[in-house]
């Protein structure tokens, strides 16, 4: 059965060195750390790679972050994989649980983590499935 978790989070991004590329390559690397509240109470640690272009509103990023916490009372960890694109201002974002990455009471977790920003607040809707 599909379940839904909702809440808010804060995110901290810190620039990291992107080795092996020229400074003007428009590639970036950042640490991505979150504090999540709501039906999922957790912290995350991860890294993001990004690419900008000369065209305003066009860019891309990928990220991997490890989530450690409680999902509706079930404790464990899992990994989220992000894929985001901006095509001249049109945005698409996919944030999915990496298959078989769940541990502890979150073993077998699958799902999609939707991110929205409302009045400057980062919100999530996490549609997920856990085996019984």
pLDDT at 21: 86
CA distance 113 to 122: 12
pTM strictly above 0.95: no
Domain hosting residue 61, numbered range? 3-129
pLDDT at 132: 80
Instruction: Confirm if 16 and 39 have CB atoms less than 8 A apart.
Output: no
pLDDT at 89: 87
- For residue 61, count other CB atoms closer than 10 A to its CB: 18
pLDDT at 55: 95
pLDDT at 106: 98
| Residues of the chain scoring pLDDT < 50 | none
76: its two tokens: 């464990």
pLDDT at 32: 97
CATH of the domain at 43: 2.40.350.10
Question: How many independent structural domains does the chain possess?
Answer: 1
């Amino acid at each position: 059965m599909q379940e839904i978790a909702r809440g808010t989070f804060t995110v901290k991004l810190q620039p990291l060195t992107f080795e092996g590329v020229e400074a003007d390559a428009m590639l970036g690397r950042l640490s991505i750390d979150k504090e999540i509240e709501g039906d999922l109470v957790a912290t995350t640690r991860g890294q993001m790679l990004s690419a900008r272009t000369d065209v305003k509103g066009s860019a891309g990023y990928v990220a991997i972050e490890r989530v450690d916490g409680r999902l509706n009372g079930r404790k464990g960890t899992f990994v989220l994989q992000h894929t985001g694109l901006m095509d001249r201002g049109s945005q698409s974002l996919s944030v999915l649980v990496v298959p078989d990455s769940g541990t502890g009471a979150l073993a077998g977790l699958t799902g999609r983590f939707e991110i929205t920003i409302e009045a400057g607040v980062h919100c999530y809707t996490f549609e997920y499935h856990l085996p019984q």
